[in-house]
Structure 1
Amino acid sequence: MPPSTEAQSALYRGLLSGRRVLVVSDNAAHAEQIRPLLPGSPGCLVPVTSRNRMPGLVAAEGAAPTVVDVLPAVEAGKLPAGRIGPHRVAAKPRATDEIITRCAGLPPAPAVVAVRAAGHRDFSPGALAGEPSAARTTLDLFAGDDQATDVRAVFSCSYRTLDSAASGLFQLLGPHPGPDITPPALVSLDDLGHDQAEAVRTRLRR
């Protein structure tokens, strides 16, 4: 195996030359992780998932960006139905809607909540939706033993990549009562200047 990344990449591209290959790169941090893995011959496809948009791959490598949004309510509602059965979900439609709203369209969340009901025949969506109000403002409702599906663990992967300014502002946003906040309110939260607050807001949005 060649010692340098450049030589390894050249060997890799040589092995793939003339082949049609699908290379899946999951949870990439930045473009420099991806460039050495791009095959040099046509007919190959490289889907890349990332928490970052990586405009450099679009500009220099001709990547086609696709932003994956949160699940719409109808699609999110299918997740608990697939775990606990459509009849249990249909029996309590308002409770199911409340659960979906609290899950904010995040794909792992409704599935994790449904798993809690799946193991208990008498545990209904209504019981989940009526859990203590403290659970409505924390991630405790979505906690689990499996780090791959614990929503808090999923969030922490993104949180750990934030710089101190962004992580500090993120913490201050926690007690905010609504889903939206205006730029002036954001500036006042952390005594930031307008330009600095806008830069931090952009990093959090990404």
Structure 2
Amino acid sequence: ETIPCSAIVNTLPINLAPRLFSPSLGPRVEEAADNLRFRAIVFVGLKIPRHHILPASFVYFREHSFNRVTDLSYFKFAMDPPGSTLLVAEIACDPSDAVWTDDDAARKAAIADLERENLISRKEIIDSVVFRSRHAHPMYTLGYEDTLQTLLEAVEGFPNAVTAGRQGRFQYVNTHVAMKMGREAADRLRTKSSA
């Protein structure tokens, strides 16, 4: 389907966006798209009837199934029952890993490691949720810079297209930087349209 538009701001993963163009952007761009990789993350959320389980809003770990845990009580979300929080364990993985396809495997791994850290007891878990992001973190492999440049030039080579965001620009950035990238994308579009 073709949808007419005056401009495109791409925030899709930069290795997926070129595949949507018709006609193809060519074998060089397709090869670059095949060679740029993202790390997937499985998020395991556990509702616990306590506040501030962690000493800070998030804590990094090196020796567990997860690499980071976030305690949402620091962000003042209204939770039911009152006084509870959602701990979110982030398990970095590949889509071929068991935790990617098996909610129970992901949940069990996170709970076991949180218990090992004496942060929770499985008996106090009120509820749980598992969700995933296939393109969570860019993987900076040798030579990725040239590959990325090929993809950015292919998408931004159109007079009315820019790419932005963590996935769209293949950058490991926080939210405030992603918002700045959005403003910069709008500026680039304005510059392109006035040229």
Q: Which interval holds the TM-score relative to the shorter structure?
A: under 0.3
- The alignment's TM-score, normalised by the length of structure 1, stands at 0.24
Structure with bigger helix share is 1
Larger Rg: 1
Structure with bigger strand share is 2
